[in-house]
């Protein structure tokens, strides 16, 4: 009769033999095989052997995997829940339906990550997904998270600021020239919404023990910023109101590479959301149950073009759809601001002027999700989310 010690010894021998067999495979072949696996599996594979860990964590492998991920974007859904005194932020992702057959009326979503805090206050999303990373906050703790690896990076606090009288606006961005992720922070004056300071934080694998926020000078001042922003090709665009506040709405740009600000005139309409439309900045303006899409064709010349005016049907208008962005194919993505038994995302084809509805399986039909549905509400959708296996 085998003893537990004998079984443990045999198991260790099998694992050792398995690891030696893996290490005998050529490294380039292992790398090619690993690239065919999903991100979640790769995160787990780092525990198999030192060789696999070194391959998966190498800069070359991460960049190659990122290039593959960019070619197959996903949609990231974020819900928040308050249950039994715990505030939770739930992340689900689903394939971009432009990557599946047009006949498909549903896609399967999967649960990526849950963040939880026992203290009071809701989670706030400060930026859409930027190459797999998001910026969010709970109370006055700001953080950057990666739903794929489930890593949460707490941003350094700045004790100079009084959170009771001052506000912080955050925009996450990526600088392709340095391959760095950065956070732009705007702090308002005490008791006012006017920005008093701009600063930048660069994410590094070896973070400093002291606060590494760096102040940056901007040509723009005395303005009220907006959380409505999007990062495109290393530049974040966000709306701002300048005196006399009511009519003077402009776009502020911040280049994460040069760390310089610039202003862009809007076409005169208030945008409900900014988005990346085929590599260009786009803004959607709502007029009752109709909407216009404006596209910034030339940044230097600040020239805009407008698509035709589109009208939503009364059925869709009653759902209270919210513009969430665009797909790589150029479709406009709308999602309900609240949900019932089923959760659908709507895709509007500008050229054909047609709307299609796609049901996201795996969200509301999740058992835990359904039993606590009354504690949930829709927060946001990122249309160009990608899986990123980079770890800080």
333, 347 contact by CB (below 8 A): yes
Q: Which of 54-58, 125-129, 149-153, 235-239 is predicted with the least confidence, judged by mean pLDDT?
A: 125-129
Domain annotation covers residue 36: no
Instruction: Return the CATH number at 234.
Output: 2.120.10.30
In a domain, 290, yes or no: yes
Does 35 fall in a domain? no
- Statement: residue 366 has pLDDT above 80: no
Distance of CA 134 to the CA centre of its chain: 4
Exposed, middle or buried: residue 89 (CB in 10 Å: 0-12, 13-18, 19+)?
Answer: buried
Domain that holds residue 178: 72-98+107-385
pTM to 2 decimal places:
0.86
Q: What angle do CA 151, 212, 87 make, to 5 degrees?
A: 40
| SS3 at position 16 | helix
Nearest residue to 154 via CA among 141, 172, 170: 141
Cα separation, 3 vs 9, whole angstroms: 10
Q: Tell me, what's the pLDDT at 364?
A: 63
Pick from 311, 321, 221, 315: nearest CA to 272:
321
Residues 6+ apart with CB under 8 A from 382: 75, 76, 78, 128, 129, 134, 324, 325
Query: Which range has highest mean pLDDT (40-54, 61-75, 256-270, 310-324)?
Result: 61-75
Under the banding of pLDDT at 50, 70 and 90, the label for residue 4 is very low
Query: Could you write out the DSSP letters of every residue in 25-56?
Result: S-HHHHHHHHTTS-HHHHHHHTTT-HHHHHHH
**pLDDT tens for each residue of 314-330:** 666 666 778 888 988 88
Look at residue 375 and tell me whether its pLDDT is greater than 70.
no
Residue 61 lies in a domain: no
Q: CA of 146: how far to CAs of 4, 22, 130, 150, in Å?
A: 40, 29, 10, 5
362: number of Cβ within 10 Å: 17
The dihedral sign for the CA sequence 261, 265, 269, 275: negative
pLDDT tens digit string along 91-149? 999 987 765 555 558 888 888 998 887 666 677 888 889 999 999 998 888 999 999 99
**Residue 292: inside a domain:** yes
* CA distance to 15, 17, 18, per residue, from 12 (Å): 5, 9, 10
Inform me whether the pLDDT recorded for 6 exceeds 70. no
Cβ neighbours for 39, distance < 8 A, ≥ 6 positions apart: 65, 69, 148, 149, 387, 388, 389
Query: What counts of helices (H) and strands (E) characterise the chain?
Result: 7, 26
CA distance 116 to 352: 43
Phi, psi torsion values for 230, nearest 5 degrees: -155, 145
- 3 state DSSP class of 229: strand
User: What pLDDT is recorded for position 339?
Assistant: 63
Residue 60 within a domain: no
Interatomic CA distance for residues 219 and 17, integer angstroms: 64
Query: Quick one: pLDDT at residue 246?
Result: 54
Tally of structural domains, the chain: 1
CA distance 143 to 140: 10
What mean pLDDT is predicted for residues 254-279?
A: 90
Q: Tell me whether residue 89 is in a domain.
A: yes
Per-residue pLDDT tens digits for 281-337: 999 988 777 888 999 999 999 999 998 778 877 666 666 778 888 988 888 898 877
**Would you tell me how many other CB atoms lie within 10 Å of the CB of residue 63?**
11
146 inside domain = yes
């Amino acid at each position: 009769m085998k003893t537990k010690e004998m079984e443990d010894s045999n198991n260790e021998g099998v694992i050792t033999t398995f690891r030696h067999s893996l290490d005998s495979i050529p490294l380039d072949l292992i790398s090619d095989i690993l690239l065919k696996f999903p991100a979640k599996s790769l995160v787990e594979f780092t525990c198999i052997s030192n060789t696999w860990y070194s391959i998966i964590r190498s800069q070359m492998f991460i960049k190659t995997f990122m290039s593959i991920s960019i070619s197959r974007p996903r949609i990231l859904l974020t819900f928040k829940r308050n249950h039994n005194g715990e505030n939770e932020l739930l992340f689900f992702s689903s394939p971009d339906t432009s990557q599946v057959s047009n006949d498909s009326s549903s896609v399967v979503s999967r649960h990526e990550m849950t963040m939880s805090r026992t203290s009071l206050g809701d989670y706030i999303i400060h930026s859409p997904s930027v190459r797999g990373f998001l910026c969010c906050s709970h109370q006055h703790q700001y953080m950057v998270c990666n739903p794929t690896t489930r890593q949460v990076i707490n941003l350094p606090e700045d004790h100079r600021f009084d959170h009771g009288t001052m506000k912080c606006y955050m925009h996450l961005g990526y600088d392709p020239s340095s391959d760095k992720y950065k956070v732009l922070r705007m702090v308002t004056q005490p008791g006012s919404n006017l920005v008093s300071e701009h600063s930048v934080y660069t994410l590094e694998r070896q973070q400093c023990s002291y606060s590494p926020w760096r102040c940056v000078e901007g040509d723009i001042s005395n303005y009220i910023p907006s959380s409505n922003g999007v990062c495109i090709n290393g530049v974040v665009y966000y709306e701002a109101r300048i005196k006399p506040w009511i009519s003077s709405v402009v776009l502020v740009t911040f280049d994460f590479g040069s760390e310089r600000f610039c202003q862009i005139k809007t076409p005169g309409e208030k945008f409900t959301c900014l988005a990346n439309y085929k590599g260009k900045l786009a803004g959607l303006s709502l007029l009752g149950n109709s909407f216009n899409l404006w596209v910034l064709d030339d940044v230097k010349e600040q020239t805009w073009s407008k698509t035709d005016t589109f009208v939503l049907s009364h059925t869709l208008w009653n759902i209270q759809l919210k513009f969430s962005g665009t797909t790589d194919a150029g479709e406009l993505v709308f999602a309900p601001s609240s949900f019932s038994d089923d959760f659908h995302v709507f895709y509007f084809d500008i050229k054909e002027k047609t709307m299609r509805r796609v049901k996201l399986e795996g969200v509301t039909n999740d058992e835990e999700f359904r039993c606590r549905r009354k504690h949930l509400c829709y927060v946001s959708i990122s249309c160009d989310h990608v899986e990123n296996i980079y770890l800080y």
